[in-house]
Structure 1
Amino acid sequence: MLEKKTLDYEKAVLIGIINLEQDEEKSKEYLDELEFLAYTAGGEVTARFTQKVNVPNPKTFIGSGKMEEIRQYVKENDIGTVIFDDELTPAQQKNIEKILKAKILDRTSLILDIFAQRAQTSYARTQVELAQYQYLLPRLAGLWTHLERQRGGIGMRGPGETEIETDRRIVRDRIALLKKKLVKIDKQMETQRGNRGALVRVALIGYTNVGKSTLMNVISKSDVFAENKLFATLDTTVRKVVIGNLPFLLSDTVGFIRKLPTQLVESFKSTLDEVREADLLLHVVDISHPNFEEHIDSVNQILDEIKSVDKPTIMVFNKIDNYKHQTIDEDDLVTEKTTEHFTLEEWKDTWMNRMGDNVLFISALNKENMEEFRKKVYQEVRKIHITRFPYNNFLYPEYEEGF
């Protein structure tokens, strides 16, 4: 089901909406993220279209006038892929394909496609395949009739064609088989976690592309795959790390994202078990991103779903080397100061101040403030460790510089 073929960049256009829940600024931000998703999947975005729609059109999601504008652009510029920022119903997808005569994807299918590219192990591939089939099941009739599966490319890394009379049964059987396979692998992974002994477990969590894997490489001196694309890490990587003479287990987990498909949350529950069973969370945040506070909220929402939001957590604000803020001239009496104008020092005096010592500012790439990071992690792991093993706490003294 999953292909690893390298693809040339496909020309694509993005479509988003402006409504009561997301204003023009928010819509632009979502489309920025969607463009990064498209790039990660192998697409080159040539244009964006937005429309104010309080209630999406049940047949075509957007209005007829905007649809005609998009149709003209798609035809004149030989666009092969049209990507919607919101999930389309099977009927909407079928109707839009008829009008635009192009490959139609929504945010969910795009994310699933990226996961299909990124899955390296048998476990990750099984999880992604299950999510893909669950997404495709209600879309089978339109999918087989209106899409030429042999074209390949973004959104096409999925099951091949079957006869319409039997495809639903085949897909349901495949879903049942994949679920059984995951249950079996889950039991094996649970055994593996149990065999790790009573070492303190620390999990790196955070929005996608915030630098978790880079930080993992710095701390554990390992070689975990990291690049400036979304979802570089799908498989949980666990390493034994020693700071000073104190050992603990550090895991790097899949990055979270807004509007994460429910199929993926369901399929990747086992991967998230590393978060559930962790003793300490390192919540990594890209502070150079203008909307990092919303990223924090998105991560906390998923933590809440898996009942891990109350775990001991250190907030690690990464990429301080990339942080930029707007400045206001001293003579400017008109411009209102907002968070866009905050320096790092000013951010530290906001809600971050209420978190006390559990806030760090680092650059994993440039190894800035890593000594402070190591000290804080050592202190928090030590607290948990001596609670678990009070009889040997003398083995682990207070942190000394140069550990």
Structure 2
Amino acid sequence: MAIELDALIATYQDLHRHPELGRQEHRTAGIVAEQLTALGYAVTTGVGGTGVVGVLERGEGPTVLLRADMDALPVREDTGLAYASTATAVNDDGETVPVMHACGHDLHTTCLLGAAAALVDDEAWQGRLLLVFQPDEEGGGGAQAMVDDGLFERFGTPDVVLGQHVAPVPVGVLGVRSGPAFAASDALRITLYGSGGHGSRPEATVDPVVMGAALVQRLQTVVSREIAATDTVVVTVGSFHAGVAPNVIPDEAVLGLSIRTADERVRTSVLDAVGRMTRAEATAAGATREPEIEALTSFPPVVNDAVACDRLRDAFAAAGRWIVVDPGPVTGSEDVGILADAAGAPCAYWLLGGADPALFAGATTVEEIRALVADLPSNHSPRYAPLAGATLESGVAALVTAARSWLG
């Protein structure tokens, strides 16, 4: 009863055309539940909000958790694909925003559906499959929401947590790294308070736009002057909102920050520096009200288990269809580690190549490949578009190979 590639591509294109923001993945969850039910899985919906869990039991053996995320991003698509998204949604602030699967979660979901079908057809294994289709990875709350909703009390504790993330490296390459593999993530909202007034009389105001602009520049020194060059840190100001008219100085400015770190000591130092610089800029500008620094989301790094990764590398190598590399520490973040931590199970989470290998023709060194990757649209870009068919084939096979390396 395996899903054929054409059907997989059709599912992928449908999910891509109809993306949904975190905690709004109702249509996606319905498609997942329908396909898993047809395959014979015991299916539960509404776990952690919009999460879906499928269970398949085959006698005595280990429980293997395979995880895929389902949510999309507030990005306007610019890929030019025939199945490009034109969808919009209302975000948590009540704003209507464009929505796109700019991170590849539609591909993750489709790959896991394909693996679910392949593992039903494979009668050579014993044990228990626990398929977790998770909401709200981008918001950082989906994994915790499923845990809080009794994921492991209701469906059992896994012996290993497995999953993958598509990346702009060639199809046929898998990236497996032991230890800290994906960075911790902290998202902050900073509100700077000024005193508004007429644009022609700035001397009668405290201008939060200028204050915010100065802070944006100052924050660039967190990495370059506050943290050792050997530590992995990214500080990004992803949004800056202030004012509604060119001749009116507003009362406040709001900045959105994304911080990625790989070490708790460094994370503490970065957050302290951000707070100190924010308060200092407000004081320097003469603000009469303290700025507010609000933590929106926070989740830990993904730490891959060394023994589990060794088993994974051996299984991938034995399959003979992939080039397996150590990608180094990834500054992107993932909340899949929360599932492993809550279960007390080893985690093995890898990168899945999703770029057209033809784009890398002639590259013979790691440096040349990295240079070409840097030129490609990355995850979260409005132009990000994995090579659908070949990536789906590779991703399904990788999930099946990983699961079979644990299932007897």
TM-score (ref. length: structure 2): 0.22
Which of the two has greater helix per residue?
A: 1
TM-score (ref. length: structure 1): 0.22
Which of the two has greater strand per residue?
A: 2
Specify which structure has the bigger relative contact order, considering alpha-carbon pairs within 8 angstroms and separated by 6 or more residues.
2
